Amino acid sequence: MFISTQALSGGTLRGRFVRHTLASQQLGDVRGVTVRLPDNYNPEKKYPVVYLQDGQNMFDSRRGFMGQEWQVDETVDRLAGRIPDALYVAVDNGEGRRLEEYTHVRDADYGGGKGENYEQFFLKELVPAVEATYSTATERRFLVGSSLGGLVSLTMALNHPAAFAGVAALSPSVWWADGQLATQTLEGAVPAQRPKVWLDMGTEEGGSDAFGQRAISEKGRFSSRPQGANGVQDVRDRTREMGEALLQKGWTLDGDLRYHEPLGGTHTEGAWAARTGEVLSWMLT
């Protein structure tokens, strides 16, 4: 359970905030958690919960990466009356351990691969602490993250489709470990439940174009990766592969899967902030 709780204000925060700390046996440290409550929070009402990775970057430019933030609080205010009231739970990443915690398998070039510990922290420690403290709709849990935070969010949602109603993976690092998550999804069983999935990659993300998109064979497996430029950045090829794997497993485009390649989109907090409103509107309604 949470070991400390205090009201939070100042900086660029807009709305009602509570700051918690959570001692984690799974991670072996104490993790900061910032919760934005609806202004009219009523403990007699059940609220959806949106869990946000890289919590430092969500609300306050004082803590955001290079002074940038997603402006989730301002966006929620702007959408008041158009999306359901919800709790927004921003989970700090582990300083110096983000790469390890947000990746479930090891990459030959970058290492990592301790995401299972983070997943267990999420399911066994964080979610129970939130749901013991606040009034939540347990069937309306959502995950949001970008880059490696998008990768770990998508991985957790696919690993536990009954636990999460939806996931938004913005510019996710699905290139990790040679596209392992797409391969795992394609070769795995058809899930009994399918959370809503928002999947995107901006047109200006990543510079390399060394190979093409893997095709799916008649046997339901990815082909070898085509070598040579195809006019599309490699990170978009990988993201398209992820989308194709989901379609093969029963997701429907513009139904429970939204795929988007934002024109001019870059790999920055500002770019993710610019589409957060659209993401939340689609995911929560």
Q: What is the pLDDT of residues 240-269, one digit of tens each?
A: 999 999 999 999 999 999 999 999 999 999
Share of the chain above pLDDT 70, in %: 100
The tokens of 143 are what?
């995950």
Domain boundaries, the chain: 2-284
Write the pLDDT tens digit of every residue in 117-127. Answer: 999 999 999 99
In the predicted structure, residue 57 carries a pLDDT above the cut 80: yes
**Fold entry, domain 2-284:** Rossmann fold (3.40.50)
87 within 8 A of 144, measured Cβ to Cβ = no
Segment 53-72 shows an average pLDDT of 90
Tell me, what's the pLDDT at 68?
A: 84
Tell me, what's the pLDDT at 65?
A: 78
Confidence of residue 95 (pLDDT cuts 50, 70, 90): confident
Q: Distance of CA 85 to CAs 1, 22, 44, 204, Å?
A: 24, 24, 13, 33
Tell me, what's the pLDDT at 61?
A: 87
Tell me, what's the pLDDT at 207?
A: 86
Q: Which residues contact 276 (CB under 8 A, 6 or more apart)?
A: 70, 71, 72, 75
In the predicted structure, residue 62 carries a pLDDT above the cut 80: yes
Share of the chain above pLDDT 90, in %: 95
Determine how many CB atoms are found less than 10 A away from the CB of residue 231. Answer: 6
Tell me, what's the pLDDT at 279?
A: 98
Can you give the C-alpha Rg of the chain in angstroms? Answer: 18
C-alpha–C-alpha distance, residues 150 and 96, integer Å: 18
In the predicted structure, residue 64 carries a pLDDT above the cut 90: no
C-alpha–C-alpha distance, residues 198 and 259, integer Å: 6
